[in-house]
């Protein structure tokens, strides 16, 4: 194969992955031609193969969320998975030449793997892993918090397949002084400054070494879609999804807390002590978010349902609790005056969201809100009002609610 053709065909492969569909007559495409669909201001629903009801919060960088009723599937399909980007999606990806380097102060020695190395040299595992953006629910904070104004839809639970990060780190070897891993990736800074990384976060060693922390190359039994990190993504379920780096090509084993982009300052951090709404906090008084708090979402019916008196309403949804498990799920139709139990399933595996159902009888006609409240294995439940205000608007796990009318 001539080099030029080879480059073209691999590029086509990555374009096809980005589009989620074959490029018809792609082999006839002129060299150096970028399909219109890959330019920034094109139809994101086609570009990323998303459900038309997904909501675009920002088109540069791309940030797209689901609505509650779109998340009804037990395993979130790509079409309904939120996209959160800090930078520009890599423009050229050649999976056949992709490498992952493990380095850092605490690595015995730097070591580089190809994707084939990873796939053939280590056992593969598949887990359903809940990924929720740290800023999911930000839109509700008062005073308002800066950033993309996520409502409820920046959460997903898909099947991720890959190798354990632990197996790879142990293959490289690391010293006892290792405290953190930090990822590096090939996305592009918004300013296009090649010396800047849009995001380079990580997790403490204890999280890095968990069974479920993966270097994933498949999502829902297919190559990971371009917007979600093709061809390699670090997946650390139950933690802010920003810890699950996309397009990862390097993982550093650090002898200190990783200090990459969006690890320092106030990014993905909340005040260590609770503060009054609007209060000013010094940077040194912020702490890094680790496990996400207990939360739930009613995914059926869609808010706004009307039905006749006498009909029993079936509700269902999902609940999750970061590193913990959800042990109790309740609903209320009287604004929290009384709560009734929902049936809640055990998770498919640790860090997977859990499914709940309930059947509700309404006593008379009128407007109701159905509120849902999950309680985790340490007996912490969701608040009905906003939890502690924080300047960046993270960790809003207030109860989800839908409006219904009995006619």
Partner 1 sequence: MKQLQKKRNRTRLLLVAIALLAAVSGIFFIRSGQGGEDKEVYQNIPSDDDFDKIENGIHLRTGLIAADGLTEVVNNCTTCHSAQLVTQNRMSRERWVATIRWMQKTQNLWDLGANEEIIINYLVTNYPPLKKGRRAALTDIEWYALEP
Binding-site string for partner 1 from residue 311 to residue 350, where x marks contact by CB under 8 A and - marks none = x-x-------------------------------------
Nearest CA among 217, 386, 213 for reference residue 291: 213
Q: Does 271 bind partner 1 (CB under 8 A)?
A: no
Q: Does 29 bind partner 1 (CB under 8 A)?
A: yes
> Stretches 24-32, 113-121, 287-295, 322-330: which one binds partner 1 (CB under 8 A)?
24-32
Closest CB to partner 1 among residues 135, 347: 135
Q: Does 366 bind partner 1 (CB under 8 A)?
A: no
**Residue 282: how many CB atoms within 10 A of its CB?**
7
Q: How many Cα atoms are found within 13 Å in the side-chain-facing hemisphere of 147?
A: 24
Separation CA 181–CA 106 (nearest Å) = 10
Q: Does 375 bind partner 1 (CB under 8 A)?
A: no
Q: Does 362 bind partner 1 (CB under 8 A)?
A: no
Whether the Cβ atoms of residue 66 and residue 215 lie closer than 8 Å to each other: no
Tokens 């008379």 sit on residue: 364
> Stretches 105-113, 199-207, 229-237, 383-391: which one binds partner 1 (CB under 8 A)?
383-391
> Stretches 93-101, 110-118, 140-148, 356-364: which one binds partner 1 (CB under 8 A)?
140-148
> CB neighbours of 108 closer than 8 A, spacing ≥ 6?
172, 173, 174, 175
Choosing from 101, 114, 260, 307, the residue that interacts with partner 1 (CB under 8 A) is 307
> Stretches 75-83, 283-291, 297-305, 316-324: which one binds partner 1 (CB under 8 A)?
297-305
Q: Does 364 bind partner 1 (CB under 8 A)?
A: no
Choosing from 196, 256, 341, 365, the residue that interacts with partner 1 (CB under 8 A) is 196
> Stretches 168-176, 251-259, 290-298, 384-392: which one binds partner 1 (CB under 8 A)?
384-392
Q: Would you say how long the chain is, in residues?
A: 407
Helix (H) or strand (E) holding 197: none
Nearest CA among 57, 6, 11, 51 for reference residue 226: 11
**Residue 205: how many CB atoms within 10 A of its CB?**
17
Choosing from 4, 33, 282, 284, the residue that interacts with partner 1 (CB under 8 A) is 33
Question: What are the structure tokens assigned to 129, written together?
Answer: 């892993």
> CB neighbours of 382 closer than 8 A, spacing ≥ 6?
293, 294, 295, 296, 373, 374, 375, 397, 398, 399
- Give the binding-site size for partner 1 (rule: CB under 8 A): 46
Residues within the interface to partner 1 (CB under 8 A): 24-25, 28-30, 33, 36, 39, 56-61, 140-144, 146-149, 189-191, 193, 196, 265, 301-307, 311, 313, 369, 384-386, 398, 401, 403, 405
């Amino acid at each position: 194969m001539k080099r030029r053709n080879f480059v073209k065909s691999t590029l086509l492969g990555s374009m096809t992955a980005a589009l989620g569909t074959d490029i018809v007559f792609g082999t006839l495409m002129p060299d150096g031609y970028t399909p219109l669909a890959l330019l920034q201001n094109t139809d994101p629903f086609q570009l990323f193969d998303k459900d038309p009801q997904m909501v675009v919060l920002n088109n540069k960088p791309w940030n797209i969320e689901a609505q509650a009723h779109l998340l009804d599937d037990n395993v979130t399909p790509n079409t309904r998975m939120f996209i959160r980007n800090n930078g520009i999606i890599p423009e050229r990806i050649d999976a056949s030449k992709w490498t992952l380097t493990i380095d850092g102060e605490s690595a015995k020695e730097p070591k580089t793997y190809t994707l084939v190395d990873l796939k053939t040299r280590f056992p593969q595992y598949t887990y359903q892993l809940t990924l929720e953006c740290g800023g999911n629910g930000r839109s509700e904070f008062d005073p308002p918090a800066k950033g993309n104004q996520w409502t409820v839809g920046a959460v997903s639970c898909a099947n991720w397949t890959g190798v354990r990060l632990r197996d790879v780190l142990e293959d490289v070897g690391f010293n006892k002084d290792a405290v953190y891993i930090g990822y590096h990736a090939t996305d592009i800074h918004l300013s296009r400054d090649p010396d800047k990384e849009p995001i380079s976060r990580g997790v403490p060693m204890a999280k890095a070494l968990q069974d479920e922390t993966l270097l994933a190359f498949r999502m829902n039994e297919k190559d990971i879609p371009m917007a979600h990190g093709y061809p390699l993504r670090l997946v650390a379920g139950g933690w802010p999804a920003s810890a699950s780096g996309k397009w990862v090509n390097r993982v550093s084993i650090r002898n200190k807390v990783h200090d990459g982009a969006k690890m320092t300052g106030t990014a993905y951090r909340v005040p260590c002590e609770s503060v009054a709404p609007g209060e000013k906090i010094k940077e040194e008084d912020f702490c890094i978010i680790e496990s996400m708090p207990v939360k739930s979402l009613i995914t059926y019916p869609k808010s706004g349902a009307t039905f006749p008196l006498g009909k029993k309403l079936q509700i269902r949804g999902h609940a999750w609790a970061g590193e913990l498990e959800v042990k109790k799920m309740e609903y209320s139709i009287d604004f929290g005056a009384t709560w009734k139990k929902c049936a809640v399933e055990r998770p498919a595996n640790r860090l997977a969201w859990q499914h709940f159902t309930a059947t509700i009888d309404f006593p008379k006609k009128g407007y109701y809100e159905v509120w849902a409240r999950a309680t985790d294995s340490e007996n912490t439940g969701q608040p009905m009002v906003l939890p502690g205000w924080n300047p960046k608007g993270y960790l809003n796990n207030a109860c989800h609610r839908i409006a219904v009318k009995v006619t």
